[in-house]
Amino acid sequence: MFIQPLEDGTQSERMKRILLNPSRRTVSLPHSIRWHNASKTMEVVEKVRERLGNHGHTWEDLWKDSLTPWDLGKPTPALQSELENYWQENTNQISLRTLVPGCGSGYDLITIACHHDNLIASGKIKHASIVGLDISESSLERAAAELEEAGEFCPFDRPTRVDLVQGDYFDTSTWQEKYSFCGDDDCVSDCSLEGPFDFIYDYTFFCALPPSLRKDWGTQTARLLVPGTGRLLTLIFPILPDAEMKGPPYPVAVEDYQQVLEPNHVAMESEPRENPDTVPQRQGMELACWWRRSKDPQSKL
């Protein structure tokens, strides 16, 4: 397997094209910890908390040591059904630009890219691009490997562009492109890493943030969404009403999102609901909710 990272100043014509296979299921690396065993999971979560409580350790250390209990080891089933059920009726634009903060191993980037490819094939949009953002370089290396492997078995070119970017979600000036898998030429020429974006997908990112950063998350998310048409999909997890506020992950509630999104003119477009495709080990702790960024402070959704 050959993965070509980008160097500073690399132009689009030197970037690698990727072919994605929508039916291929990826498998996590051998030492990845999953959520299948509750007691084992909590043991690993406590190790994560202990590591991050020591200021000498970072998210990069967790990825290097495969201390990643949030990683399902496969694409999120609920994401695929949410995209299929929602976007078929809510697309009236030429291009679709997507951001996935905390993209991790990149499984969901593959799902989103295949969905965007289908929208292009059906004539609903002409171009699509995705930015997978993570602060950990090791996680992006895993994501690049997953994207590369998914592309090995696809019989035809895929038009959606995927960029893997390292940086701080709250500061776009730190964003640096590490890997790029090109889409069509028009998509490449129109691509800007810093947004604004038509679609943001947040899952196990919000809950990893200390509560003190939630207000900043709401402000930044609104800033990164296209006013009037920008959509946000949140898989709200973990909903644990009686849990102590410690983390990561930190327990969340629907109201936590409302309190930081609505003052920034991002309001619910659908009522939070359980998705029937939620993985069994997270049922009862997860709700799906779509949001939309209003065009200006005076507009109503």
Residue 296 has pLDDT above 90, yes or no: no
pLDDT at 157: 67
Distances (CA, A) of 79 to 84, 127, 239, 287: 9, 21, 18, 12
pLDDT of residue 115: 92
Phi, psi (rounded to 5 degrees) for 113: -60, -45
Report whether pLDDT(86) > 60.
Answer: yes
For residue 72, which of 292, 279, 295 has the smallest C-alpha distance? 279
Q: 238-244, long-range: CB within 8 Å, 24+ apart, which pairs?
A: 238/207, 238/282, 238/285, 238/286, 239/284, 239/285, 239/286, 239/287, 240/285
User: pLDDT at position 17, please?
Assistant: 38
Per-residue pLDDT tens for 238-289? 998 888 878 788 899 999 999 999 999 999 998 999 999 998 888 999 999 9
pLDDT per position as a tens digit, 126-143: 889 999 999 999 999 999
CB 110 within 8 A of CB 26: yes
pLDDT of residue 244: 80
Residue 291: is it exposed, middle or buried by C-beta count within 10 angstroms (0-12/13-18/19+)? Answer: buried
Say how far apart CA 263 and CA 172 lie, in whole Å.
Answer: 22
* pLDDT (mean) for 183-207: 78
Domains of the chain: 70-293 (3.40.50.150)
Write down the residue that tokens 């500061």 correspond to.
171
Contacts of 11 (CB under 8 A, 6+ apart): none
* CA separation for the pair 29, 71 (Å, rounded): 10
Q: Are 143 and 130 in contact (CB under 8 A)?
A: no
Q: Which residues pair with 232 in a beta bridge?
A: 200, 291
Euclidean distance between the first and the last CA atom of the chain, given in angstroms as a whole number: 47
Residue 297: the pLDDT is: 58
User: pLDDT-derived band of residue 88, with 50, 70 and 90 as boundaries?
Assistant: low
Q: Which two tokens stand for residue 102?
A: 């905390």
